[in-house]
Structure 1
Amino acid sequence: MPIPPPPPLKSGLFGRGGMPKQPKTTVTGAPPPKPPPGLRIEHRIGIQAPAEVIWEVIADLASWERWNTLYPKAAGQIRIGGTLELTLALPGQPPQEIKPTVLEWVPNEQLHWRLSLMRGLVKTTRFLEIESLAEASCIVSNGELFAGLMGPSIGKRMGRAIYRGFAEMDEALKARAEAIWQARQS
């Protein structure tokens, strides 16, 4: 009599790590792309305003000082390869001047920039992305990817302050964009 295969276990050999999973495939049969290496910190928020209004608030760097607690000073031009001059004010940390480079931007959709710190040991990619759900309803993703030799460990160490800063920025962006949209509706 043949021996039946063992039942699937929640953990792998010796109770660690789980059973190896078969990679899922895409429609074409190819494996899905791997996510970028490193640590990702992200906050998402729903905003009752069109993507155009949210983008208008994000793209107006000169007005960030009026609403943005995470970046109380901002200057520069949003263009690929352009340098932004920002003051980063994380909760519980002293303000720090940073000069990231714009990687890409798409009006009403996204703004990505890159920053290299500690002689390249910490490399971050910052993103603000707008996803339209309806005419006057969007989800904004506000986050950062930490890479480089020390990036993930720095991100983990400062993760709570970074997340809190993203949440505060998102709430302020929501209030400003919704106020502008309501004023235009009147």
Structure 2
Amino acid sequence: MNFKIEKRIGVQATTDAIWALIGDLSTWSRWNPVETGVGGVIAFGGSVTLTERFEGLPERAVVGRIGDWQPYSQLVWTEKRGWQFNVIRYYEIQELDPGSCIVANGFIFSGFRGEGFHDKHKRVLRHACETIAEKLKAAAEAG
């Protein structure tokens, strides 16, 4: 069974402007207070590294594998967090009209321990997704 937390937000910016922020891993710390020190290569099978900072939880190093990506549309990576616990992390851009998009970011937890982590921390995770969405929106709209 999968457990999902997602935040969708309207952004008055082009897909190019939004992807410029998401696609440049080295600059995430400028707009993303939750996932910092991001590095890696956006390519099928590429890896992404970052420091994850959830409010009230200790910082942790993340090493994920790019599972899917499409420029100007989505970035998805997966992480095995231990025995019986996997996470899919994603960003999606949906263009409604030129200069108007819906941007989603979220987590999908799977596995027995994934269910427990989700249940225990869903408020913190929801807050993290909301914070990321607001900061990404502000950065994209500021140009």
Q: Same fold (TM over 0.5)?
A: yes
Partner of 2:20: 56
Distance 1:142 1:89 in 2: 16
Structure 2: unaligned runs, 5 residues or longer = none
1:96 to 28, 48, 60: 60
Match runs of 1:1-150 below 5 Å: 37-119=1-83, 121-150=84-113
Query: What SS does the aligned partner of 2:5 have?
Result: strand
Task: State the shift of 1:161 in Å.
Answer: 0.5
TM-score (ref. length: structure 1): 0.75
Residue 121 of structure 2 is aligned to residue 158 of structure 1: yes
Task: State the shift of 1:91 in Å.
Answer: 1.4
> Bigger relative contact order, structure 1 or 2, given CA contacts below 8 A and separation 6+?
2
Q: Give the structure with the higher percent strand.
A: 2
Partner of 2:130: 167
Distance 2:100 2:48 in 1: 28
Percent identical: 35
Q: What whole-Å deviation, never above 9, does each CA across 1:90-148 have from its counterpart, x for those lacking one?
A: 112121101010001000000111010123x1111111100100100000111111101
Task: State the shift of 1:46 in Å.
Answer: 0.6
Distance 1:91 1:67 in 2: 16
Distance 1:140 1:67 in 2: 15
TM-score (ref. length: structure 2): 0.96
Query: What SS does the aligned partner of 2:112 have?
Result: coil
Query: What SS does the aligned partner of 2:39 have?
Result: strand
Task: State the shift of 1:152 in Å.
Answer: 1.5
CA RMSD of aligned residues (A): 0.9
